[in-house]
């Protein structure tokens, strides 16, 4: 991964400007590495890729800076409330003809203040390079970024990269949607059943991994997660979408791990990427669950009752 990076002058001022390579690594050298230890990331700072811009701004307010990158994406930088220097940058596509219009396609969390768990494999800003390597494995490549005086760890088989200060502290995490037009991830009943179990057990980590950034649950009305941070909304058992998903989970689990009597088909939309639909028998209060590929994995996109 080589994501678009937005670096501000304040970042260099915060972390210092002396040039020190990581212990045991020379800037720019490649490491002996295999495939990254984890599947593609989908969450950062409580938000999910493909959430709407309105969800980010409902939680963080208006951006303090914005612009466009070389891909034409509109990026917006938001202060993290309660922290002086930490910020989140969200990248959006602005194209009324695109399925991704107004959706988050990349997230970047940067700062020198520990601000709690990020939703990124148990890591947080300020963690050591040693801890990050223990969690993620060795990166495909390490190179020094002179403009911000950091070492960038790139994981070529994944959709994320990390940056470390001269004192080997995690200062930035970037996750993105990944290449457009790749082969879609294959999924179906196993993800639907796993999601239902996660909802039933209130395993928010699993729910966040399996949920689309656009997840909706429809029972007369449609309820989603565009009112703020996805993690906060899904963690709230009383939120409208959580109540709807809890009823759906009960209906799914009654069919057992094999989801007996369900049918799985491909769902094709005119402007959106294709997805997978799991159709439920007439005896079920559920009509269907739709999955879409996001960041290299199938995610629960739409849950619909009859």
* Confidence category of residue 140, pLDDT binned at 50, 70, 90: very high
Q: Do residues 37 and 160 both lie within one domain?
A: yes
Q: Which of 184-188, 249-253, 292-296 has the highest mean pLDDT?
A: 249-253
Q: Do residues 152 and 223 both lie within one domain?
A: no
Is residue 10 scored above 90 in pLDDT?
no
| 184, part of any domain | no
* Confidence category of residue 98, pLDDT binned at 50, 70, 90: confident
Q: Do residues 168 and 276 both lie within one domain?
A: no
Q: What is the mean pLDDT of residues 270-289?
A: 92
Task: Answer with the one of 176, 210, 229 that is the final residue of a domain.
Answer: 176
| 126, part of any domain | yes
Domain range enclosing 232: 189-305
| 183, part of any domain | no
Q: Do residues 168 and 194 both lie within one domain?
A: no
Number of domains in the chain: 2
Instruction: Pick the range with the lowest mean pLDDT from 21-35, 187-201, 218-232.
Output: 21-35
pLDDT of residue 221: 95
Give the Å distances, CA to CA, from 70 to 73, 75, 144, 211, 219. Answer: 7, 11, 21, 30, 42
Is residue 89 scored above 80 in pLDDT?
yes
Q: Do residues 169 and 208 both lie within one domain?
A: no
pTM, full prediction: 0.86
Q: What is the mean pLDDT of residues 164-169?
A: 96
> Which stretches does DSSP call E strand in the chain?
43-44, 47-48, 65-68, 74-79, 87-92, 104-110, 141-145, 150-154, 160-164, 170-176, 211-219, 221-223, 263-267, 275-279, 286-294, 297-305
Q: How many angstroms separate the CA atoms of 216 and 226, rounded?
A: 10
Is residue 184 scored above 70 in pLDDT?
no
Is residue 5 scored above 90 in pLDDT?
no
The CATH number of whichever domain residue 283 belongs to comes to: 3.10.450
Q: Do residues 206 and 261 both lie within one domain?
A: yes
Q: Do residues 234 and 287 both lie within one domain?
A: yes
Give the Å distances, CA to CA, from 63 to 81, 88, 90, 103, 245. Answer: 12, 9, 10, 15, 32
Residue range 211-235, pLDDT digits in tens: 999 999 999 999 999 999 999 999 9
Mean pLDDT taken over the chain: 86
Is residue 176 scored above 90 in pLDDT?
yes
Q: Do residues 210 and 90 both lie within one domain?
A: no
Is residue 162 scored above 60 in pLDDT?
yes
* Confidence category of residue 19, pLDDT binned at 50, 70, 90: very low
Q: Do residues 149 and 104 both lie within one domain?
A: yes
Are the C-beta atoms of 216 and 292 separated by less than 8 Å?
no
* Confidence category of residue 17, pLDDT binned at 50, 70, 90: very low
Is residue 263 scored above 80 in pLDDT?
yes
**Quick one: angle between helices 240-253 and 189-201, nearest 10?**
120
Q: What is the mean pLDDT of residues 286-296?
A: 93
Q: Do residues 156 and 252 both lie within one domain?
A: no
Is residue 179 scored above 60 in pLDDT?
yes
pLDDT of residue 16: 33
| 181, part of any domain | no
Q: Do residues 22 and 107 both lie within one domain?
A: yes
| 94, part of any domain | yes
Better-predicted residue by pLDDT, 63 or 180 = 63
| 218, part of any domain | yes
Q: Do residues 36 and 169 both lie within one domain?
A: yes
Q: Which residues of 193-232 are buried (b: 16+ CB within 10 A; e: fewer)?
A: bbbbbbbeeeebeebbbbbbbbbbbebeeebbbbbbbbbe
pLDDT of residue 214: 96
pLDDT of residue 31: 33
């Amino acid at each position: 991964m080589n994501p678009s990076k937005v670096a501000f002058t304040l970042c260099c001022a915060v972390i210092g400007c002396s040039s020190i390579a990581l212990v045991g690594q020379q800037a720019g050298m490649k490491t002996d590495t295999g495939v990254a230890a984890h599947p593609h990331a989908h969450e950062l700072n409580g938000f999910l890729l493909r959430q709407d811009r309105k969800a980010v701004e409902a939680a963080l307010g208006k951006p303090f800076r914005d612009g466009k990158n070389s891909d034409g994406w509109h990026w917006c930088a938001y202060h993290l409330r309660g922290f002086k220097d930490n910020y989140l940058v969200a990248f959006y596509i602005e194209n009324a003809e695109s399925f991704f219009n107004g959706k988050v396609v990349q997230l970047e969390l940067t700062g020198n203040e520990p601000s709690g768990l990020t939703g990124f494999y148990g890591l947080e800003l300020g963690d050591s390079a040693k801890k990050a390597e223990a969690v993620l494995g060795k990166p495909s490549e390490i190179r020094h970024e002179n403009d911000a005086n950091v070492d960038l760890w790139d994981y070529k088989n994944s959709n994320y990269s990390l940056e470390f200060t001269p004192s080997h502290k995690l200062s930035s995490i970037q996750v993105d949607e990944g290449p457009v037009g790749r082969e879609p991830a294959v999924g179906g009943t196993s993800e639907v059943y796993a999601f239902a179990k996660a909802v039933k057990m209130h395993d928010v980590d699993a729910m966040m991994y399996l949920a689309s950034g656009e997840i909706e649950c429809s029972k007369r009305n449609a309820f989603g997660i565009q009112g703020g941070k996805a993690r906060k909304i899904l963690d709230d058992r009383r939120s409208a979408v959580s109540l709807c998903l809890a009823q759906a989970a009960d209906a799914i689990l009654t069919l057992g791990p094999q989801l007996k009597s369900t049918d799985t088909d491909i769902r094709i939309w005119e402007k959106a990427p294709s997805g997978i639909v799991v159709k439920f028998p007439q005896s079920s209060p559920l009509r269907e669950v739709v999955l879409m590929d996001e960041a290299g994995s199938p995610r629960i996109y739409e849950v619909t009752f009859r």
